[in-house]
Structure 1
Amino acid sequence: MANVTFMNNPVTLLGKEVAVGDKAPDFTVLANDLSAVTLADSKGKTRLISVIPSIDTGVCSSQTRKFNEEVASLGEDVFLLTVSADLPFAQARWCAAEGLDNVQIVSDHRDLSFGEAYGVVIKELRLLARSVFVIDKDDKVSYVEYVGEGTDHPDYENAIEAVKKLSK
């Protein structure tokens, strides 16, 4: 498993770690209107999945805005999904406050389906570890980053480059 710390304290990640080349595991998370969202809902697109501990923190907020800005210019064949264990209502409040209408933030709070499938559930906190996954149109994982320290930013450039390679 990935060695991850949160605020410089080691944490235990639950679930199965995924690697480049794996078939992307399916999951069920909740949209802000409480409807189910699955991996299959974006089949046929290149997916960038940005995972954050909580939308109400500075790094998570920045990460969500940064990927939203970057992906907006990549065309209709690229789908961005931001996942956290925040309640859907908190996610909707953040989107409204930030004026972001087209960002898709989903909640894994109900049953940690995504977190367990991708090995990012922080056992000690019941939050998701900061990570980024790029999945191709055929559901193959093509990029993975488990961020070593939960309060650090991911490698935005490498993630976006991975998406661009698939969307050519």
Structure 2
Amino acid sequence: MASITFKGNAVTLLGNEVKVGDQAPDFKVLANDLSEKGLNDFSGVRLISVVPSVDTGVCDAQTRKFNEEASSLNNVNVLTVSVDLPFAQKRWCANAGLENAVTLSDHRDLSFGKAYGVAIEELRLLARAVFVVDSNNKVVHAEYVSEATNHPDYEAAVEAAKKAE
């Protein structure tokens, strides 16, 4: 299991660690319109950006960065997953000028968090992570950021998305 800290304190991650080469687990989350979405509701390459909350500085920067990078990538869907309520995610997207960003809420039952091993037991938040899933649902990149308040390796994730089919 991945080992991470949140503000320097060790936390417990629920679920199973996902590794490169694994078949990407399915999940059920809520879109901004409260419809249920899963992995296969998005085609092509999926860059899944996982953040504790879009309302914090690093999460805001991460969500913006991956959505800006995605505009230059063909056949890549950027999905941002957090436990923020869908209403808060929608408001953040509007305020950030990213109305076309896909934000997904794992608030209901931590389905994504447990499937990808990023649910923080002590805080009921998701750990910062990035996954790239190819069009055959194979994980081609997985990063669990060791300190949840740090940035992920943006370049590595974008390169993995560019190379994936």
Q: Same fold (TM over 0.5)?
A: yes
Tell me what 1:12 maps to: 12
Q: Give the TM-score, by structure 1 length.
A: 0.97
Find the partner of 1:90 among 88, 91, 97. Answer: 88
Gaps of 5+ in 2: none
Q: Give the TM-score, by structure 2 length.
A: 0.98
d(CA) in 2 for partners of 1:30, 1:9 = 29
Return structure 1 stretches of 4+ with deviation > 4 angstroms: none
Gaps of 5+ in 1: none
Task: Count residues in correspondence.
Answer: 165
Tell me what 1:47 maps to: 46
Tell me what 1:160 maps to: 158
d(CA) in 1 for partners of 2:117, 2:164 = 24
Alpha carbon RMSD of aligned pairs, Å?
Answer: 0.7
**Counterpart residue type for residue 34 of structure 2:** L
d(CA) in 2 for partners of 1:47, 1:20 = 14
Deviation string for 1:112-147 (max 9, x for gaps)? 000000000000000000000000000000100000
Tell me what 2:117 maps to: 119
Identity across aligned pairs (percent)?
67
**Counterpart residue type for residue 64 of structure 1:** T
State the 1:101 CA deviation. Answer: 1.3
**Counterpart residue type for residue 109 of structure 2:** D
